[in-house]
Structure 1
Amino acid sequence: MSIFALPVLVLAVLAVHTINVAALPQVLVYTKTAGYRHESIPIAVQTITSLGNGSLTLPSSAIDPSISAVRWSTVNTEDETRFHNLTFLSQFDAIGFVSTTDQDPPLTGTVLDDQGLRNFARYIEQGGGYFGIHSAAATLFGAPFYGRLVGAYFDYHPQIQNVSVKPVDASHPSTSRWPADGLRIYEEVYNFRSDPRNLPSPAHVLVTNASTFSDPGVNPQGFRNGTNGPSPHPLAWWRQGGLLDTNSSTDASVSGVGGADIQAAGGPGRAWYTSLGHDVSTWQLDLFRGHVAGGIGWVLQSSTARSAHGGSSNGSTGTSSQDTTPASSSAHSLRPARLHLPAMAVTALVVTLPGLSVLVAQIRIPV
């Protein structure tokens, strides 16, 4: 005979199998700066957090339908010691560098120390996802594995100005809603030290710029390693698999060992980068918000993401015992629990609210 234990005012659930409630994907947003600090960082963090928890909704004209229902929990930090614990990093489906900056030249300031670099490289090698926004490409110049991860290092930009940026690939969820003739924004147009399409796992360009803007640079719209690069000039791109790979043809700016003598290769996950996002006004545009949501959502949909495997970590172990549980921006969570006792199987569904756990249903069935 079945015995049902139910709290008052809670709906009974009759089932003979475990109730599976998937945990929200977890996103770590890193915003430490050692060089220039962008005024847009607070609104960037707020936007990413609000897109993730659903408090910021976009019109269907601004966000791809494959992304509109994707939700995630956001943790923001500028504490580089968080990267000292690989167990902590492994709880995240994706780690985003948002307007981070190093000092270059000279290399007198950086956003991760050697221990953090090693753990971050291992996180990517084990399938972790990555997204970078704006000056994320002006970060960790002394660690070439990161240059390969982001795709290319920042070189220079002309004076900030009104510019048209247009989609190259309208099939990707981060650009599918952009008009073919482009988006007019007040932005810095980045030039890069190398072409991300020349990596062993080449970048797929998503966004380029129209030619109607001023760039008095010595090598406008080119790359430091040679003459003007192939068209279209890359401003945003995606990559999948082989994120840290290098070969004999890889540009010198992103090849080699670099920081802490780190040997890093592979990386089966997804990476997405956009050079846009300098100005606060850019983050107020729905089409740009949809661009960011599409990039993050696409990274989270990788088969290597933690949440794609029932929320388990990617199998790493931490280098210290601190920071083993990330704070969550989500208002509540659902978690399934299963307990095996003699002669019965117990399945419990627990709702966790801030400071309160409520047993929704406990079903005991003789076995």
Structure 2
Amino acid sequence: MKNKITLSLLFCFFLILSFNENLLANSNKILVFSKTVTFRHSSAISAGQIVIQQLGKENSFEVEITEDSQVFNSENLKQFDAVVFLCTTGDVLNDEQQEAFENYIQSGGGFVGIHSATDTEYDWPWYGELIGAYFKNHPRGQQDVLLNIIDANNISTSHLPQQWEKTDEIYNFKWIGQGLDVLITVDENSYEGGQNGEFHPISWFHAFDGGRSFYTALGHDEKSITDPLLVKHILGGIKYAMGRTK
């Protein structure tokens, strides 16, 4: 009889442990990281932080904002469902922090890159594969462009018109990865200075190294990143990175 009671108590104990682990794995919390080493998109970062905080309030997830790269350690990162690189630039993480972030993604974490997140960590090949491309240059100024929605059924694009007219700074990429699930392309005939040809991706997602990655090159300044259509596009990307389906 005593053995049965002991076994029952042990079973309950492991159930509690399992429940707590599941809570940690689905924290409904994201990290927004906006450290810059080279160019800084000041208005986009300030406005983007406010936008994402509001999205968190409206969609039941907590938002932590920082520019301190020391938060990139294994113990701290495990509390987040996704990490957002909001207009980061340059070499923002040291070797130890890079390793912690790699381990986080490999453990099932999510990543969102916005605009100049592709102008970040050029000497870290793993990061390039994670985000899917590296920035080369952009035409002078912002232009009115025509964006084509390639996948209208995705959580981040289902609200968008099939052809989306938007004013933004459009990136040319020096390298674009293979196997990306492209969501949006830009029509290079609609503006001057495009260098990626007929199929010029602007937003995409993909599963990578055990985790999930979403990127959009849109969001150059406050006006762009507060555009309601782009806000909802970013929300869909965050939900995907968090592992949410709706």
Select which of 129, 140, 151 maps to 1:148: 129
- Please give the residue correspondences for 1:104-253 in structure 2 after superposition, counting only pairs within 5 Å: 110-159=91-140, 160-182=142-164, 184-196=165-177, 198=178, 202-210=179-187, 211-215=189-193, 220-222=194-196, 228=197, 231-240=198-207, 243=208
3-state SS, counterpart of residue 89 of structure 2? coil
Code of the residue aligned with 1:174 in structure 2: it is: S
Matches of 1:137 and 1:92, distance apart in 2: 22
For residue 53 of structure 1, report the CA deviation from its aligned partner: 1.2
3-state SS, counterpart of residue 153 of structure 1? strand
3-state SS, counterpart of residue 241 of structure 2? helix
Code of the residue aligned with 1:51 in structure 2: it is: L
> Which structure is higher in RCO with an 8 Å CA cutoff and minimum separation 6?
1
Code of the residue aligned with 1:284 in structure 2: it is: T
- Please give the residue correspondences for 1:329-344 in structure 2 after superposition, counting only pairs within 5 Å: none
Matches of 2:214 and 2:64, distance apart in 1: 19
Deviations 1:159-191 (A, max 9, x none): 222222231110111111111121x22211111
Query: Deviation above 6 Å: which 4+ runs of structure 1?
Result: 18-23
Q: Structure 2: which 5+ runs fail to align?
A: 1-15
Aligned to 2:69: 80
Aligned length: 223
RMSD: 2.2
3-state SS, counterpart of residue 193 of structure 1? strand
Q: Percent identity?
A: 36
Matches of 2:163 and 2:168, distance apart in 1: 17
Deviations 1:33-57 (A, max 9, x none): 0011102101101111110111xxx
Aligned to 1:272: 214
Aligned to 1:35: 38
3-state SS, counterpart of residue 156 of structure 2? coil
Using the size of structure 2 for normalisation, the TM-score is 0.85
Deviations 1:6-59 (A, max 9, x none): xxxxxxxxxxxx9999675110010000011102101101111110111xxxxx
Select which of 219, 223, 230 maps to 1:281: 223
Larger Rg: 1
Q: Structure 1: which 5+ runs fail to align?
A: 1-17, 55-69, 103-109, 223-227, 244-266, 304-367
Matches of 1:171 and 1:181, distance apart in 2: 14
Matches of 2:226 and 2:107, distance apart in 1: 35
Using the size of structure 1 for normalisation, the TM-score is 0.58
Aligned to 2:4: none
Name the structure with the higher helix share.
Answer: 2
